Amino acid sequence: MGTDRNTIIGYVLLGILLLTYIYLSTKNSQELARQKKIYDDSVAIVKNHHDSLSKLADTAHIQVSAKTDTNGASAISKVERLTTIENDVLRIVFSNKGAQPKEVELKKFNSYDSTPVKLMDSTGDTKISYTINASSDQSAQIENLFFDEGNVIKNADGSQTLTYSLTLGSGRAITHQFTIPASGYLLDWQVNANQADKLFSQNNFNLSWHVQLRRIQKNLAYEKTLCNVGFYEDGSFDYISSHTDKTFDKPVQWIAVSQQFFNSSLIAKNDFSSGSVHWVRDPSDSSAVLGTADANFQAKIPTGPSAVLPFQLFYGPNDFHVLKRAAPGMDRIINLGRDFYSFVRPVNVYIIMPVFDFLKKLTSNYGIVIMLLTIFIRLLTSPLVYSSYLSGAKMKALKPEIDALRKRLNNDQQQVAMEQMKLFRESGVNQFGGCIPALLQIPIFFALYSFFNSNIELRSQHFLWSSDLSAYDSILNFGFSVPLYGDHVSLFGLLAVATSFLISLYGMSLTPDQSNPTMKYMPYIMPVMLLFFFNRLPSALTWYYTVSNLITLLLQWVIQTYIIDHDKIIAQLAENRKKPKAKSKWQERLEQMQESQKKMQQLKNKK
563, part of any domain: no
Q: Is 580 exposed, middle or buried (0-12, 13-18, 19+ CB in 10 A)?
A: exposed
| Helix intervals (H) in 381-474 | 382-397, 399-408, 413-427, 435-440, 442-454
Q: What is the mean pLDDT of residues 284-302?
A: 86
Q: Is the pLDDT of residue 86 over 60?
A: yes
Residue 429 or residue 550, greater confidence: 550
**Residue 88 neighbours by CB distance under 10 Å:** 11
From CA 363, how far away is CA 354, in angstroms rounded?
15
Residue 61 pLDDT level (bands cut at 50, 70, 90): very low
520, part of any domain: no
pLDDT at 27: 47
Say whether 106 sits in a helix, a strand or coil: strand
Nearest to 457 by CA among 366, 324, 546: 366
From CA 512, how far away is CA 562, in angstroms rounded?
20
**Residue 283 neighbours by CB distance under 10 Å:** 21
The count of domains in the chain is 1
Report in angstroms the alpha-carbon separations of 8 from 137, 246, 390, 402. 74, 43, 15, 20
| Chain-centre distance for alpha carbon 285 | 20
pLDDT at 12: 58
Nearest to 468 by CA among 486, 490, 498, 449: 490
Look up the CATH number of the domain holding residue 329.
Answer: 2.70.98.90
> CA torsion sign, 370 to 372 to 378 to 381?
negative
Q: Is the pLDDT of residue 393 over 60?
A: yes
Residue 28 or residue 284, greater confidence: 284
**Residue 591 neighbours by CB distance under 10 Å:** 15
Q: Is the pLDDT of residue 253 over 90?
A: yes
What does the mean pLDDT of the chain come to? 79
Q: What is the mean pLDDT of residues 329-355?
A: 90
Residue 75 pLDDT level (bands cut at 50, 70, 90): very low
Q: In which region does residue 114 sit, left (phi positive, over 0), alpha (psi from -120 to 50) or beta (all else)?
A: left
Most confidently predicted of 216-220, 269-273, 564-568: 269-273
**CB distance 207 to 296 below 8 Å:** yes
Q: Is 277 exposed, middle or buried (0-12, 13-18, 19+ CB in 10 A)?
A: buried
435 Cβ contact list (under 8 Å, min separation 6) = 6, 9, 10
- pLDDT exceeding 70 applies to what percent of the chain? 68
How large is the C-alpha radius of gyration of the chain? 32
For residue 207, what is the enclosing H or E element?
strand 204-214
535, part of any domain: no
From CA 278, how far away is CA 42, in angstroms rounded?
9
Amino acid in position 267: I
Interval 100-139: pLDDT, tens: 999 999 999 998 888 999 999 877 688 999 998 877 678 8
**Residue 366 neighbours by CB distance under 10 Å:** 22
344, part of any domain: no
429, part of any domain: no
From CA 266, how far away is CA 101, in angstroms rounded?
13
Nearest to 500 by CA among 470, 533, 466, 536: 533
**CB distance 405 to 580 below 8 Å:** no
196 Cβ contact list (under 8 Å, min separation 6) = 203, 301, 304, 305, 306, 307
Among 180-194, 235-249, 278-292, 560-574, whose mean pLDDT is lowest?
560-574
pLDDT at 30: 46
Say whether 25 sits in a helix, a strand or coil: helix
Residue 580 pLDDT level (bands cut at 50, 70, 90): low
320, part of any domain: yes
259, part of any domain: yes
From CA 295, how far away is CA 292, in angstroms rounded?
10
34, part of any domain: no
Amino acid in position 47: K
For residue 10, what is the enclosing H or E element?
helix 3-25
Range of the domain at 187: 76-129+146-334
